[in-house]
Amino acid sequence: MKTRDDSLAIVRNRRERPAKPALTRDGIIQTALEILRAEGLSKVTMRRVAVALDTGAASLYVYVRDTEDLHAQILDALLAPVSRTKTEGDWCRQIKAILSKYMEVLFAYPALARMAMSTPASGPNYMRMVDRMLGLLAAAGAPDRNAAWGIDLLLLHATAHAAEHGTWKESQRAADDFATLEAAVAGADPKKYPHIARLSSDLMSGDRSRLEWSFDLLINGVLETPVSVREEES
Amino acid sequence: MKTRDDSLAIVRNRRERPAKPALTRDGIIQTALEILRAEGLSKVTMRRVAVALDTGAASLYVYVRDTEDLHAQILDALLAPVSRTKTEGDWCRQIKAILSKYMEVLFAYPALARMAMSTPASGPNYMRMVDRMLGLLAAAGAPDRNAAWGIDLLLLHATAHAAEHGTWKESQRAADDFATLEAAVAGADPKKYPHIARLSSDLMSGDRSRLEWSFDLLINGVLETPVSVREEES
DNA sequence: ACCTGAACACCGTTCAAGT
DNA sequence: ACCTGAACACCGTTCAAGT
């Protein structure tokens, strides 16, 4: 079936489009982003990216250390607009605006949020974002150490929340598990789990307002909690 | 080489030990735990567990929905001792003691912490642990909703922290990345990243005390932060 | 230095067929 | 109902060989 004619077609294709643009780090990331958007992170594999670039997986290793590195570079690319978010209002509004944008991209790709938690991020866009937020916390009057530790806390929470809730919304599997959990909480045996049974409605309540609450709690705590002074109970 | 004699040997083996204990959910989890301890979560695969049980991977699907479910069941098994931790002292100490135990197991297997973030946990040991902590927060005088939302916040933070820092300590790869990050922070260009450069030492400082700080901040916030009342800046 | 094909050593999951 | 072998459709990474 495929002999002479095919090789002719290939030659023609070579003429009509440049066919194989040279491999570059940027080209790889762009292609990876396309696959991410079209099919999700789980399809962004070395092999699949390579096929899309009309080469073999081995060729990518010149530009990318391994699969995780590829994913980390994708995330940093997606963070470019976040690091440049236009903000206005008081510092608290501004911080929340940046956190919102950050969470938006992680919610869109929860698998990236999970990845971000196991790979120390050091991409330029991440750095830029952190720098801006540090500036805002400093302007708010946070002591140096509180600002430094606080940024970490805020971003860890944002990432973790997105990883958790994003995943739950994403997959059917997680949705099923969530239903199981919901049922387990709603129908908790008051003998075995008295507090869960008593608080069952509060445990599942709140969504947007719950997230708001947690960020208020965190931001407030970052400003007010003295470093290395242990709280005594009252 | 291997013909008659081998089949005899097999028969002999059948006699000498019961050879193949019946497949059960518990047996599967036990075997999985052994592999986890010996080789880490990445080796706890359907195929590998099946081989250890002298069967085919397909057989496991009667007891386990999929790989993630297997991992979730492993985590709940590891949480059994945590849910029964003996505690003493004031409620704050007790909560911290349970959180510590919880983090200990996640630190030992950071990959499980990552998994926990994408799978809503509803195992019996997890439930028992949550119930105890809810009781402690209630005893501390936290309003119902604060206790309910707060437990989630505390456990999410514990899990996320373990996933992040545990992984960094675990793999060579992550350690390298961490070194890269450290260098990027220490050598941050003050023109591009003024705040990172200024706070570079604080950004990398603290380890144990930093974790203490974040839990104090969270516990305090859970007790004090009113629900659905927005903070105004001062 | 960069690119490639082929190979190695794995995966999860499904399914028809057996008991 | 439970168990199995075989098959399907993939993976990441390495390495010798080419340019």
pLDDT in tens, A6-42: 333 333 343 344 557 889 999 999 999 999 999 999 9
Q: With an 8 Å Cβ cutoff, are A181 and B121 in contact?
A: yes
Same domain, A20 and A125: no
A110 with A17, same domain: the answer is no
Domain containing B50 — which CATH number?
Answer: 1.10.10.60
Q: B78, B112, B131: which is the final residue of a domain?
A: B78
pLDDT tens readout for residues B40-83:
999 999 999 999 999 999 999 999 999 999 999 999 999 999 99
pLDDT tens digits for range B136-167: 999 999 999 999 999 999 999 999 999 999 98
Q: Chain B, 215-234: which have a CB under 8 Å from a chain A CB?
A: 216-222, 225, 227-228, 230-231, 233
Average pLDDT for chain A: 89
List of chain A residues whose C-beta atoms are within 8 Å of the C-beta of residue B91:
233
Span of A12-16, A90-94, B191-195 with lowest mean pLDDT: A12-16
Q: Are residues B181 and B217 in the same domain?
A: yes
**Does the residue A217 lie in any domain?**
yes
Per-residue pLDDT band for A126 (boundaries 50, 70, 90) equals very high
Kindly report the bases of strand C lying within 7 A of a protein C-beta atom.
Answer: 2-7, 10-16
Q: What is the pLDDT of residues B9-50, one digit of tens each?
A: 333 343 334 557 889 999 999 999 999 999 999 999 999 999
Q: Calculate the dihedral angle through the C-alpha atoms of A142, A106, B208, A234, rounding to the nearest 10 degrees.
A: 60
Same domain, B218 and B186: yes
* pLDDT surpassing 80 at residue B232: no
Taking the C1' atom of every nucleotide in all shown strands and the CA of A42, the nearest one is D11
- DSSP letter string, A169-194: HH-HHHHHHHHHHHHHHHT--TTT-H
Which of A22, A56, A78 delimits the end of a domain?
A78
- Name the 3-class secondary structure at B193: coil
How many beta carbons lie within 10 A of that of residue B3, not counting itself? 6
Q: Is residue B39 part of a domain?
A: yes
Is residue B2's pLDDT more than 60? no
Task: Tell me which residues from 32 to 71 on chain A have a beta carbon below 7 angstroms from nucleic acid strand D.
Answer: 43, 45-48, 57-58, 61, 66-68
Inform me whether the C-beta atom of residue A84 falls under 8 Å from chain B C-beta atoms. Answer: no
The beta strand positions in A79-219, using DSSP E, are: none
Residue B42 domain flag:
yes
Q: Which domain holds residue B69?
A: 8-78
- A42 and A153 belong to one structural domain: no
Structural domain count of chain B: 2
Asked if B139 is an interface residue toward chain A (Cβ–Cβ < 8 A), one would say no
Token pair of A158 as six digits: 């944002």
Joined together, the tokens standing for residue A7 give 């090789």
CA A45 to chain CA mean position, Å = 18
- Answer whether B227 sits within 8 Å of A233, measured CB to CB: no
Does one domain contain both B92 and B114?
A: yes
